[in-house]
């Protein structure tokens, strides 16, 4: 009986290894099906537009709130449907020739990521804009369907407070915060 108990005791950790490995996964973002949409309130009407997601890879562990990686957006890809406004945003506000990337690097999360279906978590990380890092926590809704993952969040960026140029001029006044709706799609893989 003692030998049987020892065998079970030694075999138990080995039987849990596949479960532990299945908990650690990598989410690889598909840039062409992901999007950053923005809304900037203005005195005449809100400005809506998009930015291009350049790349993204997030490692996370469902057994513990560990998360790392980054999502990178091309700062010069902003498009609002008005060429002169987009040129001003790219050149004067974002200074994309010197700061070509905007990124978010998650550091931790609160909540539970279900193995499939829907989950809601809070992700804390570092948002780098105009070359300057800022701590940021965002709510995130996640949907997992097999190897497909979609992550969505809405948050506000106080860009003027963070040192970017206020694009207001003469009669056109804009808000000092821009609303961001981020949708990331991609695939999951188990990582060792």
Taking alpha carbons only, the member of 74, 105, 66 closest to residue 90 is 74
Taking alpha carbons only, the member of 90, 14, 101 closest to residue 55 is 101
Tokens of 151: 């992550």
Instruction: Indicate the average pLDDT of the chain.
Output: 87
The pLDDT score that the predictor gives to residue 164 is 87
Q: What is the CATH number of domain 29-190?
A: 2.40.128.110
The pLDDT score that the predictor gives to residue 4 is 47
pTM: 0.83
In tens, the pLDDT along 167-188 reads 887 667 888 999 999 999 999 9
Percent of the chain's residues with pLDDT above 90: 69
- Tell me the domain boundaries of the chain: 29-190
In tens, the pLDDT along 147-167 reads 999 999 999 999 999 988 888
């Amino acid at each position: 009986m003692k030998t049987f108990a020892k065998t079970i005791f030694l075999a138990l950790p080995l039987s849990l290894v596949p479960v532990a490995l299945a908990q650690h996964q990598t989410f690889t973002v598909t840039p062409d099906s992901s999007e950053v949409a923005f809304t900037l309130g203005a005195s005449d009407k809100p400005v809506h537009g998009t930015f291009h997601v350049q790349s993204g890879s997030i490692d996370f562990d469902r057994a513990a709130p560990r998360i790392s990686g980054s999502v990178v957006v091309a700062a010069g890809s902003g498009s609002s449907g008005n060429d002169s406004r987009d040129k001003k945003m790219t050149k004067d506000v974002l200074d994309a020739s010197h700061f070509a990337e905007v990124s978010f690097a998650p550091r931790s999360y609160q909540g539970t990521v279900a193995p499939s279906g829907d989950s809601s978590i809070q992700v804390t990380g570092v948002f780098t804009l105009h070359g300057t890092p800022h701590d940021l926590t965002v709510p995130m809704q996640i949907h997992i369907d097999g190897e497909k993952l979609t992550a969505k969040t809405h948050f506000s960026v106080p860009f003027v407070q963070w040192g970017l140029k206020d694009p207001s001029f003469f009669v056109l006044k804009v808000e000092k915060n821009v609303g961001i709706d981020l949708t990331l799609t991609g695939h999951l893989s188990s990582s060792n």
